[in-house]
Chains A and B, each alone.
Chain A
Amino acid sequence: MSAATPWTVASVRAALLAKKISARELATEFYGRIERHNPELNAFLTLSPERAYAQADRIDASVARGENLPPLAGVPMAIKDVISTRGVRTTCASKILENYLPAYDATAVERLERAGAVLLGKTNCDEFAMGGSNENSAYGPVHNPVALDRVPGGSSGGSAAAVAAGLAVAALGTDTGGSIRQPCSFCGIPGLMPTYGRVSRYGLVAFASSLDKIGPLAGNVADAAMIMSVIAGHDENDSTSAAVDVPDYSSETQRPIQGLRIGVPEDYFAEGIDPEVKEKVQSGIALLERLGCKRIPLHMPHTDFATAVYYVLATAEASSNLARYDGVRYGLRVPGSTLTEMYRNTRERGFGAEVKRRIMLGTYVLSSGYYDAYYLRAQSVRTLIARDFTDGFKKADVIVTPTAPTAAFRLGEKTADPLQMYLADIYTVTGSLAGVPGISVPCGKNKAGLPIGMQIFGPHFAEGRVLQVARAFEESRSSES
């Protein structure tokens, strides 16, 4: 959208140190872009200029005193609206939290600010992160900056659109079944789903607790790595955050990739994939081979069952997690003559169609008489899907697949049939269920000019290797084109 070279973490730092621009001027520039382009994109739901300028002024004072700058000093960023920000409205793109002001910051947000990032505001998404097109937002869909009549993907569609359109240098998103990777594929930027437990979920509004992850969306892989180094690591406020040391992802990302074994599962190129997506991802894999990687054919036999498993487990967890929206402690309350009637009225009015559908499905699969047939069976098949990955990583260092079966579809194209929308998650939900890290990195465009993403999975806690392959790929692609 902007013809000028896009800002990066590194270029912001260099410009601040050279005193070519102040952090306040940079924030002003980004708010100007948002003012101009957000009306057509609908990527931001809430702006936080007071907080952003206060932070920018702290950075500028630091520059003036000649102090060492923290790693993300002055970098204008956006935060998906399912992540809590103290005193800054956090709606989860739902009417039920329309005026909700969190009393505390998510750990990831606190760490970004401590690292100097300037938080511009909160980005639109599917309601409670449930969806793959951003059409489930109670505040209207986001439009894809590449083609305004197309969806940006979802659920982190606002974060992806904001970064792709240059309204933020980078953003935080969340990924439960593909919600970072798929919108990044549709908008043409890289985005990483970390290992389950790598980034604290404290302050992330829960959707499906065994699947939810916070991760970065950025203009380039190096920026995603910088952000990961800041947000990753154990947090005593989240007992599911891993007590595993955090490497310096930026230096890991610089390593050469010669000799790495690239696993390519045939199951991800079967029926249902758009021929242009298949061709671009295959060319991407061929490029990795030219860079010295070895291609290893894989078979991951349970891939075809992943969507069914995902929609049992994710909805079951959601039906439980969303029980808290009852009109008592926060958010919307619709009165009723009894307590139960108040709950029912509040939830009927406050939740949108997709959220209600998932609560119904999740309640059904957990209800008496169906628990073993659905929930427990899905948990068992989840074990088999995770085993497909464990077996794959015995033969390969990373596993490369398409991110999504198609490029961005048109707004309204898939809203009539929820099952068809769910089936489009097939390539992302597998890794989500296994808990392994995965990145989507742009691998070209189709004839209509729409971006296509290639997905790179790594073993648990091997974000560094995933980023390393993605960076080498990004670098060679830009030098070849």
Chain B
Amino acid sequence: MKISREEVLKIAELAHLGLSPEEVDTYRGQLEGILNYIDKLKKIDISNVEPMAQVLHPGAASGAEGDHPELRDDTPRPCDIANAVLAAAPDAEKPFFRVPKVITR
């Protein structure tokens, strides 16, 4: 598996991650090394194996089938932290977060 500089730049763009030219070179080599190691997974026959999609052990929901004791009713509850949340924002004007203009006329 070979990774090109262009692929690294494409991945960085997908991840909204700015990288310096030196970082692009470093990550190109390191990703190549790590992905080559990960390629060992190709040695395993997975044709009859279900991918694990649910980690929570089946015993975790001890109710009857279709019953989910781990879930609460979907009813609104008071949430009084809005002011604290906005106070922690880098640029807020109550009740909004302010960002650079995205729509031009």
Choose one: B8, B15, B41; the contact of A378 (CB below 8 Å).
B41
Choose one: A241, A338, A360; the contact of B27 (CB below 8 Å).
A360
Cβ of B57 under 8 Å from chain A: yes
* A331-343 contact mask (Cβ, 8 Å, vs B): 1 or 0: 1110111111111
Whether the pair A101, B38 counts as a contact (CB closer than 8 A) is: no
Majority DSSP secondary structure for residues of A touching B: helix
Whether the pair B52, A360 counts as a contact (CB closer than 8 A) is: no
**Looking across the interface, which residue of chain B has its beta carbon closest to that of A373?**
B42
Distance, CA A38 to CA B19, complexed state (A):
34
Residues of chain B at the chain A interface (Cβ within 8 Å): 8, 11-12, 14-20, 23, 27, 30-31, 33-35, 37-38, 40-42, 44, 46, 49-53, 55-57, 59-63, 69-72, 81, 84-85, 88-91, 97, 99-100, 102
Whether the pair A338, B100 counts as a contact (CB closer than 8 A) is: yes
* A-B contacts, 9 listed (Cβ < 8 Å): A197-B57, A244-B60, A308-B40, A329-B97, A330-B88, A332-B90, A333-B91, A351-B17, A460-B57
Cβ of A30 under 8 Å from chain B: no
Distance, CA A348 to CA B20, complexed state (A):
9
Distance, CA A356 to CA B12, complexed state (A):
9
User: Which residues of B lie under 8 Å from residue A195 when comparing CB positions?
Assistant: 57
Distance, CA A377 to CA B41, complexed state (A):
7
Cβ of A467 under 8 Å from chain B: no
A308-B38, A381-B44, A384-B49 known; A460+B12 contact, CB < 8 A: no
Q: List 20 additional A-B contacts (Cβ < 8 Å) besides A104-B81, A341-B100, A378-B38.
A: A103-B85, A197-B55, A197-B60, A210-B55, A211-B55, A242-B59, A243-B60, A305-B44, A308-B40, A342-B99, A344-B16, A348-B19, A349-B18, A353-B23, A359-B15, A360-B17, A374-B38, A377-B42, A379-B51, A386-B52
* A6-32 contact mask (Cβ, 8 Å, vs B): 1 or 0: 000000000000000000000000000
User: Which residues of A lie under 8 Å from residue B38 when comparing CB positions?
Assistant: 308, 311-312, 374, 378
Choose one: A234, A308, A351, A384; the contact of B70 (CB below 8 Å).
A234
Choose one: A211, A243, A374, A383; the contact of B69 (CB below 8 Å).
A243
Choose one: B27, B50, B70, B89; the contact of A383 (CB below 8 Å).
B50
A195-B57, A344-B17 known; A364+B90 contact, CB < 8 A: no
**Looking across the interface, which residue of chain A has its beta carbon closest to that of B73?**
A236
Cβ of A3 under 8 Å from chain B: no
Distance, CA A308 to CA B35, complexed state (A):
9
Whether the pair A381, B46 counts as a contact (CB closer than 8 A) is: yes
User: Which residues of A lie under 8 Å from residue B40 when comparing CB positions?
Assistant: 304-305, 308
User: Which residues of A lie under 8 Å from residue B31 when comparing CB positions?
Assistant: 357, 360-361, 364
Distance, CA A326 to CA B85, complexed state (A):
15
Cβ of A273 under 8 Å from chain B: no
* A238-261 contact mask (Cβ, 8 Å, vs B): 1 or 0: 011111100000000000000000
A380-B46, A380-B50 known; A196+B55 contact, CB < 8 A: yes
Whether the pair A345, B18 counts as a contact (CB closer than 8 A) is: yes
Cβ of A453 under 8 Å from chain B: no
A357-B30, A360-B8, A384-B44 known; A347+B17 contact, CB < 8 A: yes
Distance, CA A367 to CA B62, complexed state (A):
37
Distance, CA A243 to CA B71, complexed state (A):
9
A378-B41, A382-B51 known; A328+B15 contact, CB < 8 A: no
Cβ of A285 under 8 Å from chain B: no
**Looking across the interface, which residue of chain B has its beta carbon closest to that of A322?**
B15
User: Which residues of A lie under 8 Å from residue B11 when comparing CB positions?
Assistant: 360, 363-364, 367
Residue from A100, A340, A356 having most chain B Cβ neighbours under 10 A: A356
Cβ of A232 under 8 Å from chain B: no
User: Which residues of B lie under 8 Å from residue A100 when comparing CB positions?
Assistant: 88
A242-B70, A377-B46, A383-B49 known; A196+B100 contact, CB < 8 A: no
User: Which residues of B lie under 8 Å from residue A458 when comparing CB positions?
Assistant: none
Distance, CA A311 to CA B37, complexed state (A):
10
Choose one: B17, B90, B102; the contact of A359 (CB below 8 Å).
B17
* A290-306 contact mask (Cβ, 8 Å, vs B): 1 or 0: 00000000000010110
Cβ of A4 under 8 Å from chain B: no
Cβ of A419 under 8 Å from chain B: yes
Distance, CA A412 to CA B61, complexed state (A):
45
Within A84-111, which residues are at the interface with B (CB < 8 Å)? 100-101, 103-104
Distance, CA A197 to CA B14, complexed state (A):
31
Output the least CB separation between B11 and chain A (Å).
5
User: Which residues of A lie under 8 Å from residue B14 when comparing CB positions?
Assistant: 363, 367
**Looking across the interface, which residue of chain A has its beta carbon closest to that of B82?**
A103
Distance, CA A305 to CA B34, complexed state (A):
13
User: Which residues of B lie under 8 Å from residue A332 when comparing CB positions?
Assistant: 90
Distance, CA A470 to CA B19, complexed state (A):
46
